[in-house]
Amino acid sequence: MIPDFLTQIIATKRAQIMRDRSDTKFARMRDEVLATRRKTKPFRLRDALAGSSCPGIIAEFKRTSPSAGVIRSDVGPGEIAQAYERGGASAISVVTDEEYFGGSLGDLVTARAQTLLPILRKDFVIDPTQIFAAAIAGADAILLIVAALDDISLQRLRETAEDELGLDALVEVHTAEELHRATKAGAKLIGVNNRDLRTLRVSLETSERLMADAPRDAIMISESGLSGGGELRRLAALGYRGFLIGEMLMRAADPAAKLRELVQACEDGTDAGFTTESIQP
């Protein structure tokens, strides 16, 4: 069952889409995005994570959240994107939900203008028009939350992003059942959210537990609640290839310096033998 707050968010998102959507607009956006994507390298997020000898960090720009309230209001997405690139991020996540997180596609456009790193549009995606809009704004990847989608919608949206447009679809799960659904839908880039969507409590045991059932050919990313190098090294040892970190970096006085510390922790873990190959049977 989808938790009440997620139900509310999805209902709001669906109402917005239905209000703005039309067959003419859909066709126009699709034509525009197909032209845009023909000139853009596909699967940049996947390549950034798979092509490195150590796990990468997806550093997030997020203004507010329902659980934390206002996180930071004195810096914009362009400034943060530059700081994250200086700090060694593998990619940048931009939260674009306006109603509950204070973001916008404009934030993504601004970040895109200031960095060459892959950018993930983090939002509650339930319709192809949101994927088209992400690509037009300059995103390289979109987020699909399994708990917010039925199986048919999940597969169709993943296929629209990856098979049609060459965008990466980061498919987010929280339970073993959701991991099974993600795998069934063809997900190859899977994010494990350590935050329980029902209670908003965070536990890294979620990432530890679900890694045992992860497909061998999937790139696994741990999300939420990550706050120190020791945690990153432990999860890297289990086989995680990436970490999505936002609130801690946004609250840091010097986001670039804080990010460099975490990147160094990941690199130190690799130097110590904490690699995917070392933990596979």
Q: State the Cα–Cα distance between residues 194 and 6, nearest whole angstrom.
A: 16
- Is the full-model pTM beyond 0.75? yes
Per-residue pLDDT, averaged over 42-65, amounts to 93
Q: Which residue has the tokens 């939260």?
A: 95
pLDDT of residue 274: 40
Assign 185 to helix, strand or coil.
coil
Q: Which of 174, 171, 192 lies closest to 183 in space, CA to CA?
A: 171
Which of 205-209, 250-254, 262-266 is predicted least confidently?
262-266
pLDDT of 99 above 60: yes
What percent of the chain has pLDDT above 70? 93
Paired tokens of 48: 């950034």
Q: State the Cα–Cα distance between residues 117 and 84, nearest whole angstrom.
A: 9
pLDDT in tens, 19-42: 888 888 888 999 999 988 988 999
Q: CA of 96: how far to CAs of 119, 159, 223, 244, in Å?
A: 12, 22, 17, 16
Query: What confidence tier does 270 reach under pLDDT thresholds 50, 70, 90?
Result: low
Paired tokens of 252: 């840091």
Beta bridge partners of 190: 171, 220
Assign 240 to helix, strand or coil.
coil
Paired tokens of 94: 């931009």
Query: What confidence tier does 252 reach under pLDDT thresholds 50, 70, 90?
Result: very high
Q: Are 173 and 182 in contact (CB under 8 A)?
A: yes
Q: State the Cα–Cα distance between residues 165 and 33, nearest whole angstrom.
A: 8
Evaluated on CA atoms 90, 95, 101, 102, the torsion sign reads positive
Which of 36-40, 44-48, 87-91, 152-156 is predicted least confidently?
36-40
Which of 44-53, 128-137, 142-151 is predicted least confidently?
44-53
Query: What confidence tier does 7 reach under pLDDT thresholds 50, 70, 90?
Result: confident
- Mean pLDDT, all residues of the chain: 90
pLDDT of 3 above 60: no
pLDDT of residue 269: 63
pLDDT in tens, 171-180: 999 999 999 9
pLDDT of residue 280: 34
Query: What confidence tier does 191 reach under pLDDT thresholds 50, 70, 90?
Result: very high
pLDDT of residue 275: 41
Query: What confidence tier does 127 reach under pLDDT thresholds 50, 70, 90?
Result: very high
pLDDT in tens, 192-203: 999 876 677 888
Q: Which residue has the tokens 């999860």?
A: 235
Domains of the chain (ranges plus CATH)?
4-279 (3.20.20.70)
